[in-house]
Chains A and B, each alone.
Chain A
Amino acid sequence: ETGVTQTPRHLVMGMTNKKSLKCEQHLGHNAMYWYKQSAKKPLELMFVYSLEERVENNSVPSRFSPECPNSSHLFLHLHTLQPEDSALYLCASSQLGVSYGYTFGSGTRLTVV
């Protein structure tokens, strides 16, 4: 399988649930990213993992917890979310360097009820 694979594509969860989003890439990229995209809002960078080390955490609430067990996999663990956390969550990967763009996954549409 090529590209970046995100699962699940759609998720509905209650505010007391715990769920995880998964992202997988077999492109040999050494950086992975989580973005949040709410309706009518710009892309918001959440987390950056470079060479499997978290290098950026953009003031994301602790109810979002990332995990990068190896260079091919990235998780976003969710617990006690709020309705305003409903959004499209996009995973991306890239090589490091100015000439490398992101390859994005198809995203997970999350609805918190």
Chain B
Amino acid sequence: AQKITQTQPGMFVQEKEAVTLDCTYDTSDQSYGLFWYKQPSSGEMIFLIYQGSYDEQNATEGRYSLNFQKARKSANLVISASQLGDSAMYFCAMRESRDDKIIFGKGTRLHILP
């Protein structure tokens, strides 16, 4: 079974609208971390936001927020007031407590329309 599932291969959103990118995860660990990364066409991977499994409040970083619903094992990324520069590939990822590595989803390609 996939540990990270991103069900939206691609999305088109009008500029200035808010957008939600879906992510569900699967783990039996109590302690884990959830991450979102952005990959523009240049190829570099940019860290956006982190949520710890014990954090009670949703993480926020500027226009990015993580809608963390632990019981549903959901960690959706919300981008408010989207901009043309937000067009990129977005990856949801998880790190479990005893793992040396981070598990990535397959990504969602976001297109912001002018």
Contact = CB atoms under 8 A, between A and B. Distances in A.
A80 interface: no
B75 to A, nearest CB: 13
B45 A90 contact: yes
Contacts of B50: 99, 101
Contacts of B105: 42
Interface in A32-88: 33, 37, 42-43, 45, 48, 50, 55-56, 88
Interface in A95-109: 96-107, 109
B44 A102 contact: no
Contact of B104 (A43, A88, A99, A105): A43
B44 A106 contact: yes
How many interface residues does chain A have, given as a range? 20 to 34
Contacts of B91: 43
A58 B110 CA distance: 29
A31 interface: yes
Interface of A: 31, 33, 37, 42-43, 45, 48, 50, 55-56, 88, 90, 92, 94, 96-107, 109
Closest 3 CB pairs of A and B: A104-B45, A98-B33, A42-B106
